[in-house]
Amino acid sequence: MPDQIKTGMDADVFEAFMVQFKDYVRNRLVPAEKSIVETDRVPDDILAEMREMGLFAVTTPTEYGGAGMNVSQYIEFVRQLSYAMPCFRSITSINIGMTSAALIKSGTAEQKAEWLPRLAAGEIAAFGLTEPGSGSDSAAMQTMATRSGNGYVLNGTKRYITNAPFAKVALIMARTSKEALPKNAHVSAFIVPMDTPGITVGKSDKKMGQAGSHIADIIMEDVHIPGDALLGGVEGKGFQIAMQSLDNGRLSVAAGAAGYAQRIIDTGLRYATERKAFGEPIANFQLIQAMLADSEAELYAAECMIADACRRADAGEDILRKAAATKMFSSEACGRIADRCVQIHGGAGYLAEYEAERFFRDSRIYRIYEGTTQIMQLVIAKNMLREFASQS
C-alpha cells in the first residue's frame, strides 16, 4: 500500500526554475563540452556555479537546505540536465538520487543533520556497492565490517565507483555477517568519510566515453569507523537500502538516457537538413526520415514510462519492477538512437570531429550501470513470477 504522497516543490516555482535551468544547460553546459572532452574534467568554475545554484540539493528536504523536489520533479531535472554530456549527471546524481536518498529514507536524525546539509552544499559523494567479484550478486560481496569495540573495521575493495577520485564521503555496503543470511541480511550500509585512515583510491580508470566522469577503486585496509557510521543504526539493512537507492538510480539513468537521446535526435535532425546529396537535403529521403521517426517514437515511449514510474513512486508505490523496466527500455532505446545518428551522418559519423561519434560511445554505458539490461530482465521476470505465485 502507498505509505505517503510526495508533494515536492510548488508547481509554479518548479516550472520557473526549470525554464531557467534548461537555458543554463543549453547555453552554459553544452558550450563547455569541448573543453571537458580535451581535459577530461568538469571545470572548477562550473562546479562552483552548480553548487551556488543548489543543483546538489534539489531533492534534499527544505529543513536541511534543499529544494525538496519529489521523484517526478527530480527525474525531470535529470532529464533536462542530461541534454548536456553525461558527466554533469554523474557528478550530481550520486549525491542527489542515491546517497542523499538513502539518508532521507533510512538515516538517523543525527546522520541526517550532519550529512544532508553537506551533501546539499556540494560535497561530492560516492556509492560503494560493486566489487571486483560482486555486482548484483550480494552473496559474493567480500568487503567486511567487523565489530571492534563501539565501532567497526572495514576491509575490502569497491570497483567502478563513480566520483571516487574526488569524493568526500562514500556510502559503503559491507558484510556484517560472514554467512549469507536470508533476504540479504548479511549486508549493512556505512557512511564513511573518504579521508578516514586506511582508505586509498585507485587510479582513475580510462573509459570508452563519458569524459569528465571518473570512476576508480576504493581500497579499504583496516579502516576504523565509529558505530554511528552504520546507516540507520541497524545492521542487515544495507541491501534493502541499496535496492531502494537503485530504484532512484535506475530512474535517473533512464532520464539520463532520455535527455541525451533528445540531444542526439536534435543533432541528427540538424545534420540531415544541412547535408545535401543528389542536390537536396538528405532529410528529404524517406529512409533517413524512417530513422528519425523510429527514434522519436522510442524516445516518446521512454518518456511515458519514466513519467508513469515517477508518478507511482511519488504515490508511494513499490516501483522495483517499473524502475527496472524503465531503465532497461530507455537505455536500450538511447543506444539505438545513437546508432541511427551515426548512420544518418554516414562516414562523418565515424569521425571524432562530429558529435555523433561521441554520442555513440557515451550512450553505451547506460545499458550497463545501475544494473545491466540482463540484470533488469532478471529483476522484472523474478518479480512477475513472485507476484503470480502469490496470487495462485
Q: pLDDT tens-digit profile of 130-143? A: 999 877 666 688 99
pLDDT of the residue at 186:
87
- 234 and 294 in a common domain: no
- Give the closest residue to 9 by CA, choosing from 84, 61, 82: 61
Query: What angle, rounded to 10 degrees, do the helices at 286-314 and 238-274 form?
Result: 150
At 136 the pLDDT is: 64
- Residues 267, 78, 187, 214, CA torsion sign: positive
Mean local confidence (pLDDT), 354-364: 97
| pLDDT score of 109 | 96
Q: Hunting for cell 543533520 — which residue is that? A: 113
Three-state secondary structure of the chain: CCCCCCCCCCHHHHHHHHHHHHHHHHHHHHHHHHHHHHHCCCCHHHHHHHHHCCCCCCCCCHHHCCCCCCHHHHHHHHHHHCCCCCHHHHHHHHHHHHHHHHHHHHCCHHHHHHHHHHHHCCCCEEEECCECCECCCHHHCCCEEEEECCEEEEEEEEEEEECHHHCCEEEEEEECCCCCCHHHCCEEEEEEECCCCCEEECCCCCCCCCCCCCEEEEEEEEEEECHHHEHHHCCCCHHHHHHHHHHHHHHHHHHHHHHHHHHHHHHHHHHHHHCEECCEEHHHCHHHHHHHHHHHHHHHHHHHHHHHHHHHHHCCCCCHHHHHHHHHHHHHHHHHHHHHHHHHHHHHHHCCCCHHHHHHHHHHHHHCCCCCHHHHHHHHHHHHHHHHHHHC
Overall average pLDDT of the 194-203 stretch = 97
| 209 and 290, same domain (yes or no) | no
Query: Rounded to whole angstroms, how far apart are CA atoms 331 and 367?
Result: 5
Domain shared by 352 and 218, yes or no? no
Q: Which of 62, 51, 52 is nearest to 13 (CA)?
A: 62
> Of 106, 124, 142, which residue constitutes the final position of a domain?
124
Question: Considering its fold, how many domains does the chain have in total?
Answer: 3
Is 84:34 a contact under the CB 8 Å cutoff?
no
Give the pLDDT of residue 64: 93
**Which pLDDT does position 141 carry in this prediction?**
87
Q: Are 197 and 224 in contact (CB under 8 A)?
A: yes
Find how far residue 291's CA is from the centre of its chain: 28
**To the nearest whole percent, how much of the chain has pLDDT over 70?**
97
Exactly one of 76, 131, 303, 370 is catalytic; name it. Answer: 370
Closest CA to 125 of 52, 72, 73, 56: 56
**What average pLDDT does range 377-390 have in this prediction?**
95
Residue 235 annotated to the active site: no
**Residue 114 lies inside a defined structural domain of this protein:** yes
**Within this chain, do residues 373 and 256 fall inside the same structural domain, yes or no?**
yes
**Which pLDDT score is estimated for 210?**
94
205 in the same domain as 109: no
**84 plus 186 within the same structural domain:** no
Tell me whether residue 183 is in a domain.
Answer: yes
CB-based contacts of 181: which residues, under 8 Å, 6+ apart?
A: 236
Range with lowest mean pLDDT among 152-166, 182-196, 307-321: 182-196
Percent of the chain with pLDDT over 90: 86
Distance CA 392, CA 385 (A): 11
Q: Is residue 355 part of a domain?
A: yes
Residues 51, 184 share a domain: no
Structural domain contains residue 386:
yes
The neighbouring-strand residues paired with 145 are 154
Instruction: State yes or no: pLDDT of 3 exceeds 60.
Output: no
Q: Mean per-residue pLDDT for 68-92?
A: 96
Q: Output the average pLDDT for the chain.
A: 93
- Say yes or no to pLDDT of 1 above 50: no
Asked if residue 217 belongs to a domain, the reply is: yes
What is the predicted pLDDT for the residue at 242? 78
pLDDT at position 248 is 84
| pLDDT above 90 for 243 | no
Same domain, 302 and 168: no
- Compute the C-alpha angle 270/274/275, nearest 5°: 115
User: Range of 84's domain?
Assistant: 11-124
Can you give the pLDDT at residue 2? 45
Instruction: Encode pLDDT of 244-271 as tens digits.
Output: 777 888 999 999 999 999 999 999 999 9
pLDDT interval class at 78 (50, 70, 90): very high
Question: What's CA 23's distance to the chain center, in Å?
Answer: 22
Give yes or no: residues 220 and 278 share one domain: no
Domain termination residue (choose one: 78, 93, 124): 124
Q: Find the largest Cα–Cα distance for the chain.
A: 79
Is residue 184 domain-shared with residue 247, that is, in the same domain?
no
Q: Are residues 219 and 131 in the same domain?
A: yes
Q: pLDDT value at position 5? A: 63
255 & 375 share domain = yes
pLDDT at 209 over 70: yes
- Which pLDDT tens digit goes with each residue over 218-230? 999 999 999 999 9
How many residues in total does the chain contain?
A: 392
Give me the pLDDT at residue 369, please: 87
The predicted pLDDT at position 152 comes to: 97
Render pLDDT for 87-98 as a digit per residue (tens, 0 to 9): 999 999 998 988
**pLDDT tens sequence across 271-287:** 999 999 999 999 999 99
